[in-house]
Structure 1
Amino acid sequence: MNLVRAELLKIRTTSTWWLLALIYLPLWGLALFFNYLQADALASGNVGEVPENQADAVAAASLPDNLAANLYTNGQFFGLLMVLLLGVLVVTNEFFHQTVTTTFLTTPHRSAVMVAKLVATAILGLIFWLVTTGANLLVGSAVLEAVGVGARFGGPVWEAIALNALAYVLWAILGVGLGVLIRSQIGATVTGILLYLGGAIGAVIVISTLAARFGDWINNIQLLVPSLASSLMVTGADIPGNPPRWAGAAVLIGYAVVAGVVGTLTLRRRDIS
């Protein structure tokens, strides 16, 4: 616990966390604006002409619980990117400011240091989730009232909120693993952004193209893309044509476990000089 508190202190006494929070705030507002427009369109049925093969998915997305789950997990896409970068910076800051030698001289057991970083970053990811979820519950309830649905707090909604918390923790762990593999602060940060944003956008384009050619079963491939797997976790209920939510959670857990193990082994063996 002392090591975890030390890691939390390192983060709390730097500008990292509040800079990421300032970057995230307008992105959260932008996501809320588009989610409001989507909720209004789905609740009123003004979605235009829907292809026959997508009618069931649109009908499922229009269900009150799914509208509520989407709003109560608002900003997840950019929020997960922020905790990913936070995890990266927890590690790379040590190398950038050349404090890593002091850290390992104070605590020679590198595995213990790595575990402390993972736990501390996971705690920060949960705090990030808690703050955004509190704001989402307040604003999301107001939006649901405005579009004529009313605030919803059914079982599927709480499941989406809980799985969202898990996603924040797992992406924080992925960030730590990436920071260990790429010591350069700029290099790791740019790589994380490109993998997250580029991977999500590129995968959507490729999967949509392949699904149109070979059939909807291709949509199951989205599970292999971490950012799409985490988005799948926060649907209020399973959407026809998409893999189940638990599958997205299982895949993301697998990525996080691999990142944590590889990061720990790498930190134990790599020369820090």
Structure 2
Amino acid sequence: MTATAPYRSPLGTAGRDGFARLVHAEWTKFRTAPGGPAGLVLAALLVVGLGLLSAAGSHASCSKGPVEVPCPVPPRGPGGEAVEDHFFFAHQPLRGDGSITVRVSAMSGRIRLPDAVPGVRNVATAMTPWARAGLMIKASTRQGASYAAVMVTAEHGVRMQHDFTEDVAGLPGKVTPSTPRWLRLTRTGDTVTGEESADGVRWTKVAAVRLPGLPAQARVGLFAASPGDVRVTGNAVGGSTVTSRFSEVTAVMDRLDVRGAGTGGAFALDDIGVSYELDGSPHHPGGFRESGGTYTITGVGDIAPLTVGSTVENTLAGAMFALVAVIVVGVLSVTAEYRRGLVRTTLLASPRRGRVLVAKAVVVLAATFAGSLAATAVTLPLAKRVLAGNGVHLLPVSALTELRVVAGVAGVLAVSAVLALAFGALLRRGAAAVIAAVAAVLVPYVLATTSVLPEPVADWLLRVTPAAGFAVQQSIPEYPQVVGHHAPAGGFYPLPPWAGFAVLCGYAALVLALAVRRLNREDA
């Protein structure tokens, strides 16, 4: 009796080798078809061309009175992030370990409102929610220098903040003459501990933080700062208008006790980060006054990460137009075979139909990602250089964040192409599939980010539709202690970067599964 080997199709029907041959066959079809490579080349050219064109047309300059001057580069914090570092600081030197204690007995503020009567200043007696005053230890008076501070705020209770990005909540409550708040900062080596008390006897630790860059001689003292009064009003079309108005805070403190080498002398006064008029006078200065052991300090500005400005993802705006090109590529990779009747031949060669569609998806995913990654990796550094030459300073981010933005945008294009392929296999009509993919990914993104919808609706769209995937390109995080308008129109997404990308991947997998189910149940 002669043994007969089992029949295997030329492409293989089982095992890794069989699927690899199937992928290779689909790749051969994809690269030899006129629409596939050409569409990816067009998408790459759109990313590069529109990105560089937009950068070349972007210019920035600032005015100092009637004079146009280059815009200043924002200071950087210890972590390399752009920061706002503008406050009034009354300080003394502290060599080595030591502590500072004070009682905050009152806080008040002013907010500049639009004039109701022309020529008559309209100033409201009020504080912004994040107006703050308290104690600070800072490496130096240079903007961006490392610091730790314990403070009372207008609406957010006691806080311990350090190095601009970190914030720890203490006990809630407001400061009034009948409910003062005691604060204490203690330095031990490179560790700074913040405490609070209602009576100066029983103390509660807010937080202990490490400041590795804190020098042996630092500056310690009293501070006050008041971010701008940000107000958001809805528009008739559904978007919103954001205004930021000048504000200042004044705090009254007493029972000051400073201990440590170098302390005990007169306070040095610095209005850190204040801007100056042409005549050399400070614009909206703070102030400090001491009388009989009572200290009154007034400050404006903020001590926080800078979250408003040009970002690295702005250089990849051409990806929105490239998205249409890769959607067409994904759809045609399937519907072209249906239109020409070649799909039956493909399924005869590999009867396990679902594997054929998965192989097509692997090819489209890999080819689109490779082409898009090359385009984004070239565009971002070139556009950054062009923007810098035009006086536009991008908010700095880490190399890992830039890598995530570059790879993430390429990933969004690649997964969107797979989603389009799945729609093509499910609907089997090219025009219908393109419309479905564009409606699923691009339309919600445009509606959510162009201020044509109320912000809750925009947030909802970017949570539950495939457009959530664009969250992967957000380079500047949202900080709860930062006063600002963090909305989709400003580049802020309701989901974390990889969570949003996972939503897009989930939709692509779902539609692909539905397409496989239809392919297995119905004739091609």
Match of 1:110 in 2: 353
Q: Deviations over 1:3-31 (max 9, x none)?
A: 11111111111111343246443575235
Asked whether 1:100 is paired with 2:340, we answer no
The CA distance in 1 between the partners of 2:411 and 2:61, in whole Å, is 29
The CA distance in 1 between the partners of 2:499 and 2:58, in whole Å, is 25
The CA distance in 1 between the partners of 2:41 and 2:363, in whole Å, is 21
Match of 1:60 in 2: 307
Structure number with higher relative contact order (C-alpha < 8 Å, ≥ 6 residues apart): 1
What amino acid is aligned across from residue 419 of structure 2 in structure 1?
Answer: L
Match for residue 231 of structure 1 among 463, 470, 488: 470
Report how far residue 247 of structure 1 moved. Answer: 3.2
Checking the alignment, whether the CA contact within 8 Å between 1:223 and 1:247 is kept in structure 2 is: no
Match of 1:79 in 2: 322
Normalised TM-score (structure 2): 0.43
Q: How many residues are matched?
A: 256
Match of 1:209 in 2: 453
Cα distance, 1:249–1:61 mapped onto 2, change above 3 Å: farther
| Identity in percent | 26
What amino acid is aligned across from residue 210 of structure 1 in structure 2?
Answer: P
Structure 1 residue runs without a partner (length 5+)? 46-50, 212-216
Report how far residue 183 of structure 1 moved. Answer: 0.9
Q: Which has the higher strand share?
A: 2
Q: Which range moves more in the overlay, 194-203 or 235-244?
A: 194-203
Asked whether 1:245 is paired with 2:485, we answer no
Report how far residue 97 of structure 1 moved. Answer: 1.4
The CA distance in 1 between the partners of 2:409 and 2:46, in whole Å, is 20
Match for residue 368 of structure 2 among 118, 122, 125: 125
Asked whether 1:140 is paired with 2:372, we answer no
CA root-mean-square deviation: 3.3
Q: Deviations over 1:156-195 (max 9, x none)?
A: 2222223223212311220111111121223323443455
Cα distance, 1:107–1:132 mapped onto 2, change above 3 Å: same
Match for residue 419 of structure 2 among 174, 183, 194: 174
Structure 2 residue runs without a partner (length 5+)? 1-19, 63-69, 73-229, 233-241, 245-305, 479-485, 488-492
Match of 1:163 in 2: 408
**Quick check: which has more Rg, 1 or 2?**
2
**DSSP-derived class of the 2:523 partner:** coil
Q: Deviations over 1:7-59 (max 9, x none)?
A: 111111111134324644357523543355567489949xxxxx744579xx5
Normalised TM-score (structure 1): 0.78
Match of 1:30 in 2: 50
What amino acid is aligned across from residue 131 of structure 1 in structure 2?
Answer: A
Match of 2:26 in 1: 7
The CA distance in 2 between the partners of 1:142 and 1:230, in whole Å, is 27
1:147-158 map, 5 Å = 147-148=390-391, 149=393, 154-158=399-403
Q: Which has the higher helix share?
A: 1
What amino acid is aligned across from residue 364 of structure 2 in structure 1?
Answer: T
**DSSP-derived class of the 1:90 partner:** helix
**DSSP-derived class of the 2:311 partner:** helix
The CA distance in 1 between the partners of 2:417 and 2:42, in whole Å, is 17
Q: Deviations over 1:41-90 (max 9, x none)?
A: 89949xxxxx744579xx5241xxx622332x342212232222211111
Asked whether 1:220 is paired with 2:220, we answer no
The CA distance in 1 between the partners of 2:49 and 2:400, in whole Å, is 26
Checking the alignment, whether the CA contact within 8 Å between 1:67 and 1:236 is kept in structure 2 is: yes
